[in-house]
Structure 1
Amino acid sequence: MSASSRITCVRTLRVPERANLCWVEIETAEGLTGLGEAFRGAAAVEGQIHDLVAPYLLGKDARDIERHHRFLMTPYVGFGASSAEMRAASAVDIALWDLAGQRLGVPVHEALGGLSRDRIRAYNTCAGYDYNSRPNRREVAGAEDRAGPYDDQIAFMNAPDELAHSLLEEGFTAMKIWPFDIHAAESGGQLINLVDLNKGMEPFEKIRAAVGDRMEVMAELHSLWSLPAASRICNALAPIRPFWVEDPILKMDDTAALAELRRMAPGVPICASETLGGKVAFRDLLVAGATDIVMVDLTWCGGLTEARKIAAMAEAWARPVAPHDCTGPVTLVASLHFALHAATAIFQEVVRATLATWYRDLVTVLPRVERGYCLPMQGPGLGTALQPDTRKRATIRESRA
């Protein structure tokens, strides 16, 4: 082991106004600091980091990413799905890759093996400014006033045609919306009646009428529906020709139900799933023929190391990959490095509302999005760090060797 690359400190940082986020910093004896991010259940991840992860990492060589990844991805409990153990392992893995890039003096995408493309197409997830960033997620509502020009969550319910034109003007040619969500609660997602089905279809129909085929539209179902209800929605969407229907059923590890849905709604591509953790879950998905597009969230699936393995499996099954981000700025940066490297990546998800506001308040550098495409990050490692003011406002906890 090189003394200079020895891990000397594992640190977590949290800010009260973004309660779902927890950042992880890993320091080495050489004076480098790697940055990772966890999302959802931040307190649980913080506890996992300091109680179980830090005692293992401290004193170890930060260069041994694969060794540490295997250890952290195979805990005695919590190894399935996107558990606190998995989210902690993901954040640590991203931080270790940040360190690797800094040590080599190259961007993470180069440390991973280089670019597969010089830019990648972005789609705008039509969320609002605070969507998913606070303990209670803001839901869509039909009569709510917009909080600003990029409050796309309200716009897709109230003025989807105007929203589509606005996105096209900025160069976006793909967007994602979820107007069916508000109709799931009454039946617990077990059924959707024709009245609600038609209401959910209205935004899609208005977008098609307004901009025609110039805009690809993705339908997000947020794992809210039973198989029959999801089938009814997918078949209703078929004439709109959605680019994909995402996370349509109640639990996305139910590969049998997903495969059946693909048979019940032929011609409607299924995208799955940001909610899965670890390569085994994705292997099962692919073996069952249960998805058309593989979506990974780097902070839930196991970080960059696991995402590479999932992407390789997807490539073997001739499936494209699309990294998720509706979470935090470090996730977006790490996902972009991955999307530019992975051979079969087709999109990078962005939320223009958060890119224009609180993402930039938290980190020093964000990806450049030009005319609907994300460009590579520059500089060594991830190419970003926490803003000094973020650090000043954060609750910090450290474990040291």
Structure 2
Amino acid sequence: MRIQAIDVLMCSPGRTFCTVKITTDDGLVGYGDGTLNGRELAVASYVTDHLAPALIGSDASRINDIWQFCYKGAYWRRGPVTMSAISAIDQALWDLNAKALGVPVHRLLGGRARDYITAYPHCSGHTVEAALEEAGARLAEGYKAIRIQAQVPGLATAYGVAKGDEEYEPASSTLPDVEEWDTGAYLDFLPRLIKATRDELGYGFELLHDGHHRLTPSQAGWMGRRLEPYRMFWLEDPTPEEDQQAFATVRSLTSCPIAVGEVWNSVYDCQQAISGRLIDYIRIPVTHGGGLTHLRQILALADVYGVRSGMQGASDISPIGQAANFALDWTIPNFGMQEYMGYPEETWAVFTPHYRVEDGVITLDDTPGLGVEVDEEAAARYPYTPKSLPVNRLRDGGMYDW
């Protein structure tokens, strides 16, 4: 079972995706997701120009050896582009190896550790009332957890809230849109939003919110203390993640659970935060974390220190990447929560998943491999369209974290 070809499929069926296809000399095909929102072409180039030529002819059954070759064999390591490219190769190898054995990937990972995967959707609105209406609707659908975001009064834009009546999509133009931010207004507003959510909808569900790296560590601690009475499941990304020790300050100031990691890409990015018990949930997804092979290592380390999973599942990760997330969710002992944002209708013309999302939970079947079929002819009808994530400026014009 030798690697005969490695191809990159770029398409934009509602969202932009970077899919890697590995074909073996005996006709097996495996697919992996290398989507990196706004930087997909960099990942495609890394795969096409650097990994693929070196891997042709390799034994596709040697997943661990190929992972080490891609990682340790490169002097320039880590980072989101490198790890997303390696992840796409790794996912495709797991997919085709499981197909060769006629079993789903989760069987190769040790089998189910639970009966279903608890998921949370995004609930948002331009007003508190609109956000609560959407949250109530999602709870009525059977979801047991929700993430709530609302537009901060006085700001023209808000993270997690659509610009108009369409579905939320942050990557919306060829060049970055400029958004406006005021930290003080957000600090004043968020406790009111969370209190209103609990007052209106009660406590019979898990409640999450994403700070999206907008606060200093001391501000994050201040915010966490004010959210403690409302039994948050987590406060996500309250402060920028480059400095792992910053979360020691947050931890010292609040008992509010903290979820971090969607912009981390390797075990070294999160080693201190996990081993120091500075966070409660690790959010690295398979697609950006070096694949199933590497994320298993990260989650095993997390389990030792009582940190649970909370893998990113926004719709800028393709259904293939989601299926890889779900395979780990079903099999690890320290599962916490799974984000599931959903997809535009056009996405399903290209990707046919065999996982099910129903009544707020996700289940898998025994389809061999990752369980996602790819219609390459349909993908060709949705040519790649470049999109960029926004940038953030303060009211005085200074750059700020988006």
Which TM bucket (shorter chain)?
0.7 to 0.9
Alignment of 1:46-65 (within 5 A): 46-65=44-63
In the alignment, the residues of structure 2 paired with residue 319 and residue 179 of structure 1 have an alpha-carbon distance, to the nearest angstrom, of: 28
Q: Is this contact kept in 2: 1:329–1:366, CA < 8 A?
A: no
Alignment match, 2:166:
none
Q: Select 1:173's aligned residue among 116, 134, 144.
A: 144
Match of 1:116 among 104, 113, 116: 113
Q: Which has the higher helix share?
A: 1
Partners of 2:355 and 2:244 in 1: CA distance: 34
3-state DSSP class of the match of 1:8?
A: strand
Matched, 1:159 2:130: yes
Distance 1:272 1:75, change over 3 A: farther
Determine whether 1:294 maps to 2:296.
no
Q: Which of 34, 39, 46 is the matching residue for 1:38?
A: 34
Q: Which residue of 1 aligns with 2:213?
A: 223
Tell me, yes or no, if structure 1 residue 274 matches structure 2 residue 262: yes
What per-residue deviation string (whole Å, max 9, x for no partner) do you get for residues 311-369 of structure 1? 111111122112221022111111111100111112222114x2x63442331125212
Distance 1:389 1:156, change over 3 A: farther
More deviation in 230-239 or 34-43?
230-239
Match of 1:26 in 2: 22
What CA distance in whole angstroms lies between the structure 1 residues aligned with 2:84 and 2:236?
Answer: 21
Shift of 1:385: 1.7
Other-structure match for 2:186:
196
Query: Residue 329 of structure 1 aligns to which amino acid in structure 2?
Result: P
SS state at 1:44 partner: helix
Q: Note the alpha carbon deviations across 1:195-228, whole angstroms, 9 max, x for none.
A: 4323233332222112110121111111222223
Per the normalisation by structure 1, the TM-score is: 0.83
In structure 2, relative to structure 1, the CA distance for the partners of 1:157 and 1:31 (3 Å cut) is farther
2:356 is matched with: 368
2:204 aligned with 1:214: yes
| Alignment size in residue pairs | 359
Distance 1:244 1:78, change over 3 A: farther
Equivalent position to 2:304, from 310, 316, 319: 316
Task: Name the CA distance, whole Å, in 1 between partners of 2:282 and 2:14.
Answer: 28
> Match of 1:94, SS?
helix
Distance in structure 1 (CA, Å) of the matches to 2:261 and 2:291: 15
- Cα 1:187–1:369, aligned 2, differ >3 Å: closer, same or farther? closer
Aligned 8 A contact 1:123 1:349 in 2: yes
CA contact (8 A) 1:275 1:297 kept: no
**Cα distance between partner residues in 2 of 1:218 and 1:196:** 16
Instruction: Report the Cα distance in structure 2 between the residues aligned to 1:19 and 1:373, rounded to whole angstroms.
Output: 23
State TM-score, norm by structure 2: 0.82
Which residue number corresponds to residue 146 of structure 1? none
What amino acid maps onto 1:36 in structure 2? G
* Residue 381 of structure 1: aligned partner: 369
Higher alpha-carbon deviation: 316-325 or 103-112: 316-325
The letter of the residue matching 2:243 is D
1:105 pairs, out of 102, 107, 113, with 102
Residue 245 of structure 1: SS of its match in structure 2? Answer: strand
How far apart are 1:253 and its partner, in Å? 3.5
Q: 1:360 to 1:186 in 2, by over 3 A?
A: closer
Q: Determine if contact 1:10/1:27 at 8 Å carries over to the other structure.
A: yes
Q: Check whether the contact 1:156–1:163 (CA below 8 A) recurs between aligned residues.
A: no
Percentage of identical aligned residues: 28
Query: Who is 2:238 aligned against?
Result: 248
Q: 1:156 to 1:332 in 2, by over 3 A?
A: farther
- Aligned residue in 2 for 1:142: none
Long gaps (5+) in structure 1 = 127-151, 397-401
For residues 340 and 89 of structure 1, the distance between their equivalents in structure 2, rounded to whole angstroms, comes to 23
1:156–1:346 CA distance, 2 compared to 1 (3 A): farther
In the other structure, the counterpart of 2:162 is none
Aligned to 2:170: none
